Amino acid sequence: MKLKRLAVLFSALIGIYSSASAAADTLLSPARVWTGEGQAHANWAVLISGGKIAAVGPADKLNIPAGAERIDLPDATLIPGLMDLHSHVLLHPYNETSWDDQVLKESVEYRTLLAARHAAATLQAGFTTLRDLGTEGALYADVAIKKAINDGVIPGPRLFIATRAIVASGSYGPSPRSYRDDVDLPRGAQEVTGIDEVVRAVREQGARGADWIKVYADYRTGVDGSSRATFTQAELNALVQTAHESGRKVAAHASTDEGMRRATLAGVDTIEHGYGGSEATFKLMAEKHVVYFPTLTAPEATSEYFQKYQRGGAPTPSMQAAARAFQLARKLGVTIGNGSDVGVFAHGDNARELEWLVRLGMTPVEALRAATVVNAAVLQQGSALGQIREGYWADVVAVQGDPTQDIGALRQVKLVMKGGTIFHRP
């Protein structure tokens, strides 16, 4: 009896995964194609073969192999798979469970199971690549999630992972001052002090599977809970040097001007949040080609949870600070990528960040480029991902309408393909 039940369960599972199938050749015929460059092209089609883009161009000029599966996508636009380069698949919204309760009360096993669901929702929303910036107390669970996705065990986006993240001792959650001093609490990231420990942490995380090193250059360590730069310049310099020598790039959480300045001087590759950045620091970032991820959705979400903010209402001070920083960075020519801090808000709702980019001044095409071509370059994947171009991985998404005119079209996902495999079809 028991065996029979297992067999039924097993065949049900097989059924799920055979529905995510890759035909030998697939022809996608949308109303238009936006390749990542220029404007959208009406009446273009895309041929997929062996997981890659074999041809793209006017539909009547493509050589279609006999036996290719043809998928018509009337009224839809085909775009490169979207990328969100600031995610936390191991977190869920704080209005469901506070950050402290997730870290202190939810087991790593439970959080990993939730993360599988989050990864699936992300892919269904047309986001085929994430840079996941820290497990927030779930240790190296992201290494397992990435492997399960790559092995085809669970559906999900391509993951570039940072494992535990690195913070200065005593400068991250759960806040020691909020708990008795005689209990040992799990920590939200790896805590280090001094150059030796910084270097050791980078080496350990790299050895465990980190693709990126995430460092917190500042945190709420002030007497009054205000954000302060945490690491010394020498510690940050050593961290970046060690990461870069091992071929890993560095993402720095920094919301204070001093934290951003030190991180930039140390040579980090991206700065996250940056809400307190000055003109001088954004200029320095532009000069040193540090890419900025303004995470505009995070303050909106936390304002909703904790300050009774209602969408479309008067922006709270934290939202105003984020908007100011974004607009200043843009004016000064800082390269801006798309990264939302999703996990703070619901997975699969990643398009909120692109809507913010447009609301605060980008054209829809600029926002789409941030989430494709610009982000692919940040990942050093500019010749494999982020465009619909011959030889690139077939990570493509079809949305109803034209997102190059109306970014809201990203909400109407009709088809999701990753590496030539269809995960959502019309």
Q: By the criterion CB under 5 A, which residues form the site for Zn ion? A: 341
Closer to Zn ion at the Cβ: 135 or 421? 135
Tokens of residue 8, six digits: 């039924």
Residues 6+ away with beta carbon under 8 Å from 380? 249
Q: Report yes or no: 221 and 181 within 8 Å, Cβ to Cβ.
A: no
Closest CA to 144 of 118, 109, 120, 117: 109
Q: Tell me the closest approach of the beta carbon of residue 329 to Zn ion, in angstroms.
A: 18
Q: Tell me the closest approach of the beta carbon of residue 99 to Zn ion, in angstroms.
A: 11
Closer to Zn ion at the Cβ: 264 or 302? 302
Residues 6+ away with beta carbon under 8 Å from 394? 48, 51, 52, 53, 417, 418, 419, 420
Closer to Zn ion at the Cβ: 269 or 341? 341
Other beta carbons less than 10 A from residue 61's beta carbon: 9
Closer to Zn ion at the Cβ: 235 or 341? 341
Q: Tell me the closest approach of the beta carbon of residue 421 to Zn ion, in angstroms.
A: 29
3-state secondary structure of 363: coil
Q: Tell me the closest approach of the beta carbon of residue 150 to Zn ion, in angstroms.
A: 23
Closer to Zn ion at the Cβ: 142 or 341? 341
3-state secondary structure of 211: coil
The amino acid sitting at 406 is: D
Q: Tell me the closest approach of the beta carbon of residue 133 to Zn ion, in angstroms.
A: 5
Closer to Zn ion at the Cβ: 242 or 340? 340
Residue 196 phi, psi (nearest 5): -60, -45
Q: Report yes or no: 192 and 200 within 8 Å, Cβ to Cβ.
A: yes
Residue nearest to Zn ion (CB): 341
Residue 19 is given by DSSP the state T
Q: Tell me the closest approach of the beta carbon of residue 120 to Zn ion, in angstroms.
A: 21
Cα of 61 vs its chain's centroid, Å: 36
